[in-house]
Amino acid sequence: MIAPTAFGVSSRDYFVYAALDEVQKAAIALLQWTEVLEGDHDDPSSDDPEGRVILASVRDDQRLRIRKLVELLVDAICFSESNEPPYYRHYLLLRDLRERRAGLYPDVVDGFENEGRRTFAVDQGRCR
């Protein structure tokens, strides 16, 4: 979160830059998947263990990219109604807090808790 304020960049511009960065990463991944899938790994029912692992890896990566792009879309839709700099700054601060909290408590993943452990959640309805 230091980057936008340290270099005089508005929080909104930083959010847009980060969003475009994610879209570019997805596009690069799409090109990589195309190269990988052009091989002889098209038939997942074959007895080729290497091909099965490659396809599973590509599927996992695709799910990750889809999840990130959906989260980005949701964030962009939410900002369509509140396109003011304080909202972007608040969002970036909460995102930074969430990432730092996840680093302190690795058992907490995306706001969900493992059985018997603490969790961290933000009531987003109160942030408006």
- Break the chain into its structural domains and give their ranges: 9-82, 84-128
Sign of the alpha-carbon dihedral angle for 92, 60, 24, 103: positive
Q: What is the pTM of this model?
A: 0.63
Q: Would you state the pLDDT for residue 52? A: 83
Q: Would you state the pLDDT for residue 99? A: 82
Residue 103: pLDDT above 50?
A: yes
Q: Over the stretch 46-100, which tens digit does the pLDDT of each residue have? A: 677 887 888 888 899 999 999 999 999 998 998 888 888 889 999 889 888 888 8
Of 123, 119, 97, 96, nearest to 107 (Cα)?
119
Pull the structure tokens for residue 9: 């960049």
Of 23, 20, 28, 8, nearest to 85 (Cα)?
8
When pLDDT is averaged across residues 31-53 and rounded to a whole number, the result is 73
Q: Residue 122 in contact with residue 44, Cβ under 8 Å? A: no
Q: What is the mean pLDDT of the chain?
A: 77
Q: Would you state the pLDDT for residue 42? A: 53
Query: What is the rounded distance in angstroms from the CA atom of residue 15 to the CA atom of residue 93?
Result: 11
Q: Over the stretch 87-96, which tens digit does the pLDDT of each residue have? A: 999 988 988 8
In Å, what is the CA distance from 27 to each residue of 23, 71, 106? Answer: 6, 16, 30
Report residue 116's pLDDT band, with 50, 70 and 90 as the boundaries: very low
* Sequence-distant (≥ 6) Cβ neighbours of residue 117 within 8 angstroms: 105, 107, 108
What's the half-sphere exposure (Cβ side, CA atoms, 13 Å) at 99? 7
Residue 1: pLDDT above 60?
A: no
